[in-house]
Amino acid sequence: MLILKQSLFEQIQAHGARDYPNECCGALLGNDGGTDRTVLGLVPLANQREDSPRDRFQITSEDVRLAEKEASAKGWELIGWYHSHPDSPARPSEFDREHAWPWYSYIIFRVEKAEPQEMRSWRLNDDRASYDEEGIEYIAGAPA
Partner 1 sequence: MAVKVMIPTPLRQFAGKQESVNLEAGTVGDALNALTSQFSDLKKHLYSDDGRLRSFVNVYVNDEDIRYLQKEKTAVQQGDTISIVPSIAGGSQ
Sequence-ordered list of residues with C-beta below 8 angstroms from that of 27, at least 6 positions apart, any chain:
42, 43, 45, 59, 63, 64, 67, 70, 71, 78, 80, 81, 82
Please tell me the distance from the alpha carbon of residue 60 to that of residue 25, in angstroms, as a whole number: 11
**Is residue 104 a contact residue for partner 1 (CB under 8 A)?**
yes
Integer Cα distance of 16 and 90 in angstroms: 12
- The span of 7-15, 34-42, 126-134, 136-144 binding partner 1 (CB under 8 A) equals 126-134
Smallest distance, Å, CB 10 to partner 1?
22
Residue 132 found at the interface with partner 1 (CB under 8 A): no
CA of residue 125 relative to chain centroid, distance:
17
Question: Does 76 contact partner 1 by CB under 8 A?
Answer: no
Q: Which stretch binds partner 1 (CB under 8 A): 10-18, 33-41, 97-105, 113-121?
A: 97-105
The residues that touch partner 1, with contacts defined as CB under 8 A, are: 23, 25, 49, 52, 55-61, 64-65, 77-78, 81, 83, 85-86, 88-89, 92-93, 95-96, 99-104, 106, 126-128
